[in-house]
Amino acid sequence: MKGVRWIVTVTVFGTLLYPGVLSGRSGDDNVIQAFVIPHSHMDVGWVYTVEESMHAYAANVYTTIVEELVKKKHRKFIAVEQEFFRLWWDKVVTDEQKQQVHQLLKEGRLEFIIGGQVMHDEAVTELSSQILQLTEGHGFLYETFGKRPQFSWHVDPFGASATTPTVFALAGFNAHLISRIDYDEKDMMQKNKKLQFVWQGSPSLAEQQQIFTHTMDQYSYCVPASLPFSNRSGFFWNGIAVFPDPPKDGIYPNMSLPVTSQTIRAYAETMVANIKQRAAWFKSNHVLWPWGCDKQFFNASMQFENMDPLMDYVNQHRREFGVTVQYATLSEYFQAVHNANLTWDTRKSRDFLPYSSEPFQAWSGFYASRNILKGMARGANSFLYACESLFTLYLLRYPLGSIDKLWALEKIQHLRWAVSEVQHHDGVTGTESPKVRDMYMDHLLRGMSAVKLLMAAILQEALNGGKNKLDDPLPYSQDTRNREDDSLQITVYNPLGWNITTVINVTVAYSMVNVYDGLGNAVPSQIQKSAGSNSTFDLFVLVRLDALGYHRYIVKTKNSTCTKGRDGQCSEGQTSYRGRVITFNRKLVRKLRNQGGRLLRLMNECYFLTFDEDTNLLHSITDRSSQKTIKIQQEFLEYHANGDIRKGPISDNYVFTANGPAVSVSKSIGMELVKGNLVTEIRQYFYSNNSAMANNYEYAIFTRMYNVPKGYDGSLLCRRVEQEYMVGPLDLNREAILRMTTDLKTDRTIFTDGNGYQMMKRQYKNYSYNTLARNYYPLVRTAYIEENGTRLIILSDRAHGISSQADGQIEMMLHRRLWNNKEWNLAYNLTLNDTSVVRPLFWLMFGSKSTTSSLYQSGMALEFRPVVAFGPTSGNVALVQSNKMHGETAANSFSLPSNLHLLTLSVPGWQYNSNHTKHLEDITRVQGKQSQPNFRRVLLRILHLYEVGEDPVLSQPVRVNLKDLLKPLGTVASVEERSLTGIWNINTLQRWKWRTSQQHDMEFNKATRRLNEEFRVTIHPKELRTFFVYFKQ
């Protein structure tokens, strides 16, 4: 093993190293060097709410850590999740503590790791939300302290995604750290000293964005929990946090035996033995010894006062023990490993999903836990996405607009915080207690309603050319059923960077309407009786919107008169098409295969869909352009979970343990067909009881095909078969799936997405245990199966579990309701007794690879559907040409090529200078004083949607002139390229290079990658580029 160049560490960090480590280096080459990293794993949610956690322990962590670090110069601490730190910083600290924090950061003794608001889940989160939460935390840290985190500490997410190394590399990180991976694989890696490697998360970005990755050994992020000489827990001198109030006497349960002259030898031997055991699993003689666990260091003096003498003792006996120990931050550990200059294996874009912790503990259940929370987390993120760009447009177009910018930014920040928070690895995962779920949902709902107010205000002003406010407010409402008004205004905003043609759906209380655009022209629309209701109607309206464009539509009931447009025209008498409902006889499920005798054939420009009238089930799909047909059947089944730990492995919030094959749920199936000129809808109702009343079904599928009228671009709209499923409430201990059985030959291989960023090939694997559950993967947005280039694609609006358990088959876990008698689950109320009815939305696409090549664009169109605002009109409604703001024409409207996605267009408001040196000077000068948010800096991110070689045309690099692209928004004055979260100027960012056995030149097309002076940039496959744009005032 190579010696360690300590001197480098001293130079870089300029701090005092532990004297015992520095002295006597010669002859100590074989001495193991343990980096004792004090940390506290603080879940932003899970069992206790954020408020409860702050009160019981989290605030005390930072208060006591600062106090203890100030006392002794060799003590250190890493701060990981930012949400608790920010709450402490904003609400708890004194000015003196603030000064102390600045000083500790300067000395490198307090170090921010990851720097996101939370430690995000890796399996079920979507890329843009991951970036949001990281950006939110980084923005705060950089603005407040000038600090730029460069290391990750993903110690608790349940499995590791291949997207994460790419995201962290793009954020400027030098090393990544993971822990929870499959126990088999970890065991193998540990034995072969392969826990550390260089990860190329994205196949297209490969070496350009590779990152050194450290996998924690079997002890993971906690110190060993037991001591051989005591029945108390190991090295946790402050004991266990107590809820709701910290104990008044300061005595916590399970405080470890103090380190005294009687116990110190036993403690030292235990520590040394553990360090030596771990050293054997790594290539270098550096051991990362995480000192902490969940909710630790709330009484930091107890911790350090015991550890200080223990470490002294070990260092005094280093010749005997062969070990030295020192407090360290994570960067010091990685710096030492990096300095060892070893050669590392490369891992390509394989991920570590799913994760099993033991033979019957496959953590693939949480992919589908709490479907409603998962849906709301995604919905809130897309709502935020829309509001960010709308606010940006508003600031650019109406710099003197009447909306208070600070008020507006505050609304947006509220939602940024809520969406960031729920990305936590016990948040969107659905693995929290019910009260914490309520907390997340409450924060999301409050954030969304704050932003709705803002969007309404912007649209109201913008639709009127930024001058006079409309007489009528523009309320947002999801429910117009009880309105007596005879007309309704609908405003639709398209937040995407492409022009779209789509159909929006609103529920209204009347059956005959006319729909007009802003000029009084009739708009294609259809109205029909809502499923299962006699008093409401679904109104479908075809909308055509430019990128970042909005339209207002007026809905008038049959009896109201048309309002003339500016040109005096009015399309009187053109009412919405009335969809006719045809009801089919309910069919008994005798055999679970299609008869195929009597087929109901439905069609649009893209597909033929057939339903079997003998079973009321879907029978086939034909792609009309490639003339390919698959047989396909869809049915709902349930896995019956075991809830009694005495009878075997259970299923819970986290794990899925199939207790036998899934069982069909339906005894009979009802069907309705709604024929229309714009939408054809099939409604299938699944009954578990033959004599059930018509409305008494537990499962339903609403399938919609769209017919695009002539003169409209229907390429994406016609190509999607929309399916909305209705599931629930479930019986107890049931895990509900939708199974699609096709005649494609797939050998049980399925492609599923990593966080909506990249596709992963999942080949069916056989295991000694638990094979079914271990072949489940997260579906975040996209999945498909294929045979010879013919694909069946699924796009989803929220995360689910997905698997292919048989040839040509896909099953998706949609909903779970579980209860078990495991003491731990009961104690923390983590049993998932979810009685809700869920309604996830999917788009299916089918055809050859070339006819379905728009799958990513369609995926984004599902993710970021137009925002629809509607409310009553009364009195005079101004008719305005609303699609474009102010004299804009289609020729100069913003639009990206179809392989580039507008990932972010926002005004973050960060109060920092883009020049790092100047920013640091400003911090020193104005410390503690608030400056004004920067409303001039626009954050722009563009993502290339395709992999290298995936499509002959769409995979090509795209050259973009940012000045021309952004011209419709304003005249660009300057552009800076930044790191993913904005805190680095890309030209000054030098990430560490790690030697690999297959080293190539990493200067990947650097010349074409950089933004040139003419604002031209070439965006390569899978690149994600971040810019600060400044417009001329």
Catalytic positions, written as ranges: 156
Name the residue nearer to Zn ion (CB basis): 80 or 1019. Answer: 80
Which residues in this chain contact Zn ion in the complex, by CB under 5 A? 43, 156
Q: What angle do CA 632, 636, 638 make, to 5 degrees?
A: 135
Rank residues 43 and 613 by Cβ distance to Zn ion and give the closer one: 43
Rounded CA separation 774/767 (Å): 8
- At closest approach, how far in Å is the CB of 423 from Zn ion? 13
Output DSSP code: residue 17: P
Q: Which is nearer to Zn ion, 180 or 800 (CB)?
A: 180
What DSSP state is assigned to residue 991? P
Main-chain phi, psi angles of 545, to 5 degrees:
-130, 140
> In Å, how far from its chain's centre is CA 301?
37
Can you read off the two tokens belonging to residue 785? 């199966």
Nearer to Zn ion, 43 or 546 (CB): 43
Question: Any residues with CB less than 8 A from the CB of 592 and at least 6 apart, and which?
Answer: 633, 635, 664
Kind and range of the H or E element at 460? helix 434-463
Nearer to Zn ion, 43 or 122 (CB): 43
Are the C-beta atoms of residues 383 and 867 closer than 8 Å to each other? yes
User: Which has the closest alpha carbon to 111: 60, 167, 160, 65?
Assistant: 65
Q: Which residue has the tokens 């280096």?
A: 25
User: Among 799, 794, 796, 797, which residue's Cα sits nearest to residue 783?
Assistant: 794
Cβ closest to Zn ion, residue 43 vs residue 753: 43
Cis peptide before 38 (omega within 30 of 0): no
To the nearest whole angstrom, how small is the minimum distance from the Cβ of residue 294 to Zn ion?
7
- Residues shown for the chain: 1033
Query: Using CA atoms, how far apart are residues 907 and 896, in angstroms rounded to an integer?
Result: 20
Phi and psi torsions of 269, nearest 5°: -65, -40
Smallest gap from Cβ 86 to Zn ion, in A, equals 18
What is the distance between the alpha carbons of residues 81 and 169, in angstroms, rounded to a whole number?
19
Angle between helices 163-170 and 127-145 (to 10 degrees): 30
What 3-state class would DSSP assign to 229?
coil
Please tell me whether the peptide bond between 354 and the residue prior to it is cis, using omega within 30 degrees of 0: yes
In angstroms, the CA 782 to CA 843 distance is 10
Task: Name the residue among 55, 66, 72 with its Cα closest to residue 100.
Answer: 66
In degrees, rounded to 5, the angle at the alpha carbon of residue 528 between the alpha carbons of residues 526 and 529 is: 165
Spatial distance between the Cα atoms of 876 and 736, rounded to a whole number of angstroms: 51
Bridging pattern class, strands 937-944 and 900-906? antiparallel
Distance CA 814, CA 835 (A): 13
Q: Among all chains, which residue has been given the structure tokens 């019910």?
A: 434
- What does residue 224 show for φ and ψ, rounded to 5 degrees? -50, 135
Distance CA(527)–CA(156), nearest Å, equals 49
Cα–Cα dist 698/249, whole Å: 54
Q: Which two tokens stand for residue 128?
A: 């843009």
Q: Are 77 and 110 in contact (CB under 8 A)?
A: yes
- Residue 972: in which H helix or E strand, if any? strand 972-978
Nearer of residues 178 and 730 to Zn ion, judged by Cβ: 178
Rank residues 216 and 665 by Cβ distance to Zn ion and give the closer one.
Answer: 216
> How many whole angstroms separate alpha carbon 328 and alpha carbon 18?
9
From start to end of 113-163, where are the E strands?
Answer: none
Alpha carbons 971 and 1031: distance in angstroms, whole number? 5
Helices and strands per DSSP (H, E), number in the chain: 22, 46
Which of the 8 DSSP states describes residue 543?
E
Phi, psi of 140, rounded to the nearest 5 degrees: -65, -50
Helix or strand (DSSP H, E) at 21 = helix 19-22
Contact by Cβ (8 Å): 745, 715: no
Query: Which tokens in the block code for residue 1020?
Result: 């390569």
- Rounded CA-CA distance 509/529 in Å is 10
Q: Whose Cβ is closer to Zn ion: residue 156's or residue 638's?
A: 156
